[in-house]
Amino acid sequence: MKIASLEDDLDQAKRIQQVLTAAGYTCTSYQQSRDLLAALRTETFDLVLLDWHLPDIDGDDVVRWLRANIGPRVPVIFLTNRSSEDDLVEGLRAGADDYIVKPLRPLELLARVAALLRRSQIAEPANEAFEVASYRIDPAPRTISLNGAVVALAPKEFELALLFFRNLGRLMSRDVLAECVWNREIPATSRTLDTHLSNIRQKLQLRPEHGVRLSSSYALGYRLELISPADDSLPPGP
C-alpha cells in the first residue's frame, strides 16, 4: 500500500514515515503542498496524510483539489493541532475522511490508516456487479436489487446509492456527496440532497433487517453501515 504524507516539520515527517514503513507501508514524504500536488498528477496513492498548516498551500485547499481532480476514492486523513468542532467540521467538509489531533500517537495513526484502507478496498471495478447484505448492485444496467427484486430509482438516486454501497462504512460529507453526484456545490438551504437521501433510504429500505443502515453524524456527514441482526434494536440515523 502506497501512502503520501504531507508534513513540513522534518522531524514529524520522519517520524510518520518511520511508523508507516515499520508497519509495512510504502510512505513517500512531502514538505511542500505543490510537490504533493505534482506527484498526484502522475502517481497513484492508496491513502494521503495531510498536515493542516503548510508554508505554501494549506491542507484543506489541497484536499479540495484532490477531490475535484481525483475524486472520492482516495482516503484522506488530516493531521492537525486544531481540536475545536468547527475546525474539524471544516476539514471534513473540504473532503477529508478522518482526522488525528496532534501530538501524533503511532498506534492511533496505524489504526486509523488501516481502517480507512479497509473501507476503500470495498469499491468495485466500474461495471462489475457486487453484493452488500441483502442488496445486489449492478452498475452496468444501473440497477439495485433488494432480495432479488429490482428497486426503481431515479438516475441521481442510483448514483447516490451506488456511492454509498461502494464506500461502505466511510463517512462522507454533504459537500463530497454533492460534488460526486451533482458535480457542483449544493447550497446549505437547498433540500435536494436531503430529499434524495430520504428517497433512497425509503425505496431501498436501508434498515437493519436488510443488513445495513444509513446514518448521519451531526454536521459531519453520512455513512452506510453494515448492521448485524444483534443491532436491530439500535435507533436508525435521522
Chosen domain end from 95, 120, 145: 120
Do 110 and 207 share a structural domain? no
Q: Report the alpha-carbon distance of residue 234 to residue 154 in Å, rounded.
A: 29
Q: Is residue 10 part of a domain?
A: yes
Tell whether 25 and 46 lie within a shared domain.
yes
36 and 116 in a single domain? The answer is yes
pLDDT at 122 over 90: no
Q: Does residue 237 fall inside a structural domain?
A: no
Q: Is 28 helix (H, G, I), strand (E, B) or coil?
A: strand
Contact (CB, 8 A) for 63 and 94: yes
pTM comes to 0.53
Same domain membership, residue 74 and residue 142:
no
Question: The dihedral of CA 220, 221, 227, 233: what is its sign?
Answer: positive
pLDDT of residue 103: 86
Least confident of 22-31, 33-42, 75-84: 75-84
Amino acid letter, residue 120: S
Cell numbers found for residue 53: 498548516
Domains contained in the chain, number = 2
149-150 and 212-217: which strand pairing? unpaired
The mean pLDDT of 127-146, rounded to a whole number, is 91
At residue 201, φ and ψ (nearest 5 deg) are -65, -40
In-domain check, residue 236: no
79-106 tens-digit pLDDT: 888 666 666 777 777 788 888 888 889 9
| 3, containing H or E segment | strand 2-6
- Which range marks the domain in which residue 106 is found? 2-120
Task: From 74, 102, 120, give the residue that closes a domain.
Answer: 120
Residue 100: the pLDDT is 86
169 has pLDDT over 70 = yes
Round the average pLDDT of the chain to a whole number and report it. 83
pLDDT (average), residues 141-157: 94
pLDDT(190) > 90: no
**Residues 8, 114 within the same domain:** yes
Which of 120, 147, 179 is the last residue before a domain boundary? 120
pLDDT of residue 124: 45
- The predicted model gives 10-31 an average pLDDT of 93
What is the reported pLDDT for 143?
95
103 and 162 share a domain? Answer: no
**Is the pLDDT reported for residue 199 higher than 90?**
yes
- Where is pLDDT greater, at 54 or 49? 49
134 and 105 in a single domain? The answer is: no
Least confident of 111-115, 170-174, 185-189, 203-207: 185-189
Tell me the average pLDDT across 187-212.
88
3-state percent breakdown (helix, strand, coil) of the chain, nearest 5: 40, 20, 40
Q: Is the distance from CB of 133 to CB of 211 less than 8 angstroms?
A: yes
State mean pLDDT over 71-83.
81
Looking at residue 121, its pLDDT comes to 58
Q: The domain spanning residue 14 has which CATH number? A: 3.40.50.2300
Query: How distant is the alpha carbon of residue 141 from its chain centre?
Result: 25
Q: Are residues 12 and 111 in the same domain?
A: yes
Q: Which grid coordinates are listed for 65?
A: 483539489
Alpha-carbon distance of 172 to 48, in angstroms, equals 16
Residue 191 burial (10 A CB sphere; 0-12, 13-18, 19+): exposed
**Is pLDDT of 188 > 70?**
no
Q: Are residues 151 and 112 in the same domain?
A: no
53 with 94, same domain: the answer is yes
